[in-house]
Chain A
């Protein structure tokens, strides 16, 4: 793997939460690399640090110690505003509970992260919104509000919102957690399609059925990476 293929490089990363004299070590000495175009699943039991790691990967939170390079640039000590800017340009989020803004229409929700980009003309934003919604087959619901959509439709809109900004990586946190199995499968197929089209995806899941869609599964336990499995290779071996 060439050095410039590495999108995310994490070394010896720790995260400690301090609450009322109690120290909680959420992550301890994490080493992780994600390459461009890779589809990684992070799994593990509840409380193992999956979401904390995803927060740090998505620059939503900062590590207590360790190094984090995104696109080759160190990002662990960035200011709040720099993290906001990079988050907006490089990272697309897909949340478990969709996190669409109820008072904005589908179109406005998808457009929202683009409005935070200085200098992007309105016409360009509209074009990207249309493309993203087309990609998830939700263009016909542009004028609707989230409350008028089913859970599966809302998650597809959330995917479109994550895609609209053409991010370097999609971070998905239990994207099927609030969906029934049928809609869950549909979203997983959508993510698989996106990966095939070249997107880099890092997904947190505790469901092994969905983890198998990824190329690699990183298993966390007690804030540590306890195993990494190349799933595609394994699948191919089983099939052979």
Chain B
């Protein structure tokens, strides 16, 4: 590519502003859409954690089993989430890890208050004391957590994220060393993490602060799970020593896992011993952190990438066709050039220079489209995001991608016109293009139109199908009434309420809300519908043998107030609903949905039947008082 080629190409583009503008807008949309999706792919799927030497990090476990589990997970024996006890066991069994940290699988929203200021709902994550040293992260101010902070008798401390320090504590340097209240318990802020560090995973709401695992019982009291050896709630991630054979380590850790499981009655009882041999762990690179969001969004992003590529191909075909049409008008020039000695390679180079230049201008405009596009997609995909660690601004990698996409695009849509031009007849310079014996351009033009139409059809069909699917998802029947229903979240523990004061608080909330004008019904629940959270247990029917490890005994549950089902418009189809007489001292009754009734009591009336959880001896714990219409 010579300077003269570029100069000439620029003049050509300037000479036809209409064509140039059309092409640049088309390319900007095509390249912009691809760059926007790549911005997300890079930010979510390809990015490494901003930590020291991320390639040395490995995670034990490869999928998302958030957030608290007990017993065997899944049918394939793939263990991904671990109790504290099991984490320590694996840590001791794997000296190949220079350091092995444990991080909470799920995160909490805790009430945080400084002094007399209003409390804030901030995201927290329990991490082992070696979390920061494992990731190679030092403090921005103060110090980060250390092993000594994660000891049972250690003083309760926390480290703030830089973002939380900036936005929630007005970047007050005096916060380091100050005491803040977390869930009504005093914690000392010992430091601030560096800017840009968002933790161990890409998520739409990264932690605002980190607390040592040892403080979990301090915060959660009787419901703490740190020392429940059978409650799995931690993801281990560590830094392996150079030269470690990961496959051998995986084999040895799997053996250590099986050995530990075989000591736990929860895993050995009721035929559990038979499935222990297939339990194993998978060790995966952890440079990108815990890949929950990646696994969640990966398929969608890949689909978007394919769709945007199709859009770009259509744009290419469109512009190639325009160039071919223009090429007819430029045949005389090309013929003269060839008559003067330009070889086919030179002609191809000239046309490709022009198309690459055009696509680079389109790519530049596309960066603006990409920035706007990725911001919009992020806003749509993560409407509740706070401090989302995915930046829509073009990074070096994104700029590189846009440049590469522009080059490839330019070559792609320049090939056909260049090929046609290179086969111009030099003799036309003498006899004139109008006396040419044949016109070669119509066939590729027709082929491009067919190609464009085919791709458009594919895209259109995909768009229609996707719109229909989205429409169905949006209008699906969840089994609840949503019109004029509003959800409020209360956190009594965060406000310092002890468990004995909670029933009175709930009664008062219900009474006072019910008394508000316009409020017709008030219900309370541990988790509101469609929130995505719930608890699950293995159901043991009274009079049946204990379910084995492979049995599908799982069911989810929610704790609700008397009028909850009324409030969300869910009818009782058999038996009765809860009444004011169903108190703490009354016999324990439950309401089950129709799916539960069919699953556990097929061809029977479930009302009056009993079941329990944990062990067979508790199978009579709950009596089914009624069956309600299934809700999602």
The interface of chain A, by Cβ under 8 A from chain B, is 17, 19, 51, 54-55, 58, 60-61, 80-81, 84-85, 87-89, 93, 95, 97, 99, 101-104, 108, 111-113, 115-117, 161, 173
Contacts and interface: CB of A to CB of B under 8 A. Distances in A.
A103 B343 contact: no
Nearest to B334: A101
Contacts, number: 78
23 contacts: A60-B339, A60-B425, A61-B426, A61-B427, A81-B344, A84-B338, A84-B342, A84-B343, A84-B426, A87-B339, A87-B340, A88-B341, A88-B342, A89-B341, A93-B429, A95-B336, A113-B341, A115-B4, A116-B342, A116-B343, A117-B341, A161-B340, A173-B430
A116 B430 contact: no
A19 B438 CA distance: 9
Interface of B: 2, 4, 8, 11-12, 15, 332-333, 336-344, 346, 425-427, 429-432, 437
B341 A116 contact: yes
A104 B8 contact: yes
A107 to B, nearest CB: 11
B430 A95 contact: yes
Counting chain A CB atoms within 10 Å of each CB, which of B11, B15, B341 scores highest? B341
B343 A60 contact: no
B494 to A, nearest CB: 72
Given A19-B437, A93-B340, A103 B430 contact: no
Nearest to A113: B340
Given A17-B437, A55-B430, A60-B430, 10 more contacts: A51-B430, A84-B338, A84-B341, A84-B342, A84-B343, A87-B339, A93-B429, A103-B333, A113-B341, A173-B430
A87 B336 contact: no
Nearest to A100: B336
Contact of A85 (B11, B343, B431, B437): B343
Contacts of B340: 87-88, 93, 112-113, 116, 161
A19 B333 CA distance: 25
Given A101-B336, A116-B346, A87 B4 contact: no
Nearest to B346: A116
B215 to A, nearest CB: 74
Contact of A80 (B11, B337, B344, B431): B344
A112 B430 contact: no
A60 B343 CA distance: 12
Chain B interface main SS type:
helix
Given A17-B437, A88-B340, A93-B339, A115 B427 contact: no
Most chain B Cβ neighbours within 10 Å, of A85, A87, A88, A103: A103
Nearest to A102: B333
A54 B8 CA distance: 30
Nearest to B338: A84
A87 B427 contact: no
A99 B336 contact: yes
Contacts of A51: 430-431
Contacts of B339: 58, 60, 87, 93, 99
B15 A87 contact: no
B326 to A, nearest CB: 13
A58 B430 contact: yes
Contacts of A54: 430
Nearest to B8: A103
Contacts of B427: 55, 60-61
Contacts of A95: 336, 429-430
Nearest to A56: B427
A116 B336 CA distance: 13
B4 A108 contact: yes
Given A88-B341, A112-B340, A116-B342, A99 B429 contact: yes
A36 B12 CA distance: 40
Nearest to A85: B341
Nearest to B437: A19
